Amino acid sequence: MSSTSHLLTLAQNILHNASLLDQYHTTNHLPSPSFEIDGPAQITIPPSEADVVAAHSALLTETRQLNRLVAGPVSGLVSTNLEDVVSLHAISRFRIAQSFPLGQEASFESISRRTGLNRVDLERVLRHAMTSHIFCEPRIGFVAHTAASRVLAENELVRDFVGVMCEEKFKGSACVQAFGADAVRRGPKTVDALVRWNGAKDPSESGFSLGHGTNNGLYAELQAHPGRGKRWANAMSQFASRIPIQPVADAYDWVCFPRRFKPAPFAKEPAPDACSFSQALLGDSTVVDVGGGHGPVSIGLAKLFPRLRFIVQDLPEAIGSRPSLPDDVADRVDFMAYDFLVEQPVRGKSVYFFRAVFHNWPDASCVRILRNQVPALRPGATVIVNETLLHEPGSLPPEQERQRR
């Protein structure tokens, strides 16, 4: 298909999907998207409107593709947004575009050997860049060039422009409160950390630590600065409040654990005597929400399952800044300061629950956190890890994949 026909196809699809979205707003007497001060702050479409949800998702994908197509690969590379710069910075620093020939495929493993960047971080960098059409993955585990990566491979002037943007302009633009040599020291350090600790195993071996001039990892640094720790806890609570509780409620049988505690959809709570045997074995229906912040998940589950009690654990800064509990769950949700890098002090409970915890930690720390729970576990206790996992490349709409990567 020629560029012209691709251009027209995208434009026609955008018009079609924009018409569906506009019709939905008009029919339901909702304000249309607008840049004006009185425009809606968020576009929310209920899942029941499947066609409109699909049209909205397609619009986000297709408008971004149209922008990239019309701009062309050179413009797309030299005028990229800051959110894309980290992956582009790594591509530039490790000379990934020049690491394998045009017109050929190369495995992640071979690119890792040629560039010196460990395979795990290489996959993260390139799969994010691919959502902006820089490289592609024609089959799982193999990389090929696109128009944009071809320009990087062939055009030294463009490569140098990208290098200046990432190494000079990007570092300077992020240091609005630092000047002179300190500005360089405090600039964005993600790629510097990849170079220094290729395959880091400790939380302190990170761009965050380099950028803030500290030997601490993120959470140790937040503990050392309670004001920042409180701000972080509030931000995470706000983020968690936007995630629906129902998928968590449906993923496990919160009523009849531990004997039926396995991933499965359970739409309704069974009759009071349906779980009497397992509850007799259980004795204590308490869930320990480890690293639970202000407790939005525990509060949501407590509303749905009135026989459960919850203990929400987090660092003192998070626990101290929590809002008041809703009256209908206040007698069943407790809070406790706890650092999960030390041994779990709450023993003999039914469930130890980790939601969105381990993605922020290197593997060695995850093992340590889990081992710290072992002395607290009694026979029949359950440890639940509820985490966001990346889908296979190309299995989600491009805009959704870009956000996740």
Active site amino acids:
359
Half-sphere exposure of 102 (CA within 13 A, CB side): 10
Strand partners, 386: 355
Can you state the angle between helices 3-27 and 50-78, rounded to 10 degrees?
140
Cβ neighbours for 231, distance < 8 A, ≥ 6 positions apart: none
What is the rounded CA–CA span in Å between residue 214 and residue 226?
16
What is the rounded CA–CA span in Å between residue 129 and residue 402?
8
Is 66 exposed, middle or buried (CB count within 10 Å of its CB: 0-12, 13-18, 19+)? middle
Strand partners, 142: 107, 139
Taking only Cα atoms into account, the Rg of the chain, rounded to an integer number of angstroms, comes to: 25
First to last CA, the chain: 29
Cβ neighbours for 310, distance < 8 A, ≥ 6 positions apart: 286, 287, 288, 289, 295, 298, 299, 301, 302, 332, 333, 334
What is the rounded CA–CA span in Å between residue 129 and residue 86?
9
* Dihedral, 190, 191, 195, 197 alpha carbons, nearest 10: 20
Three-state secondary structure of 95-123: CCCCCCCCCCCEEHHHHHHHHCCCHHHHH
On whether the CB atoms of residues 289 and 297 are closer than 8 A, the answer is yes
What is the rounded CA–CA span in Å between residue 334 and residue 289?
10
Q: Which of 364, 344, 342, 363 is closest to 353 using CA atoms?
A: 344
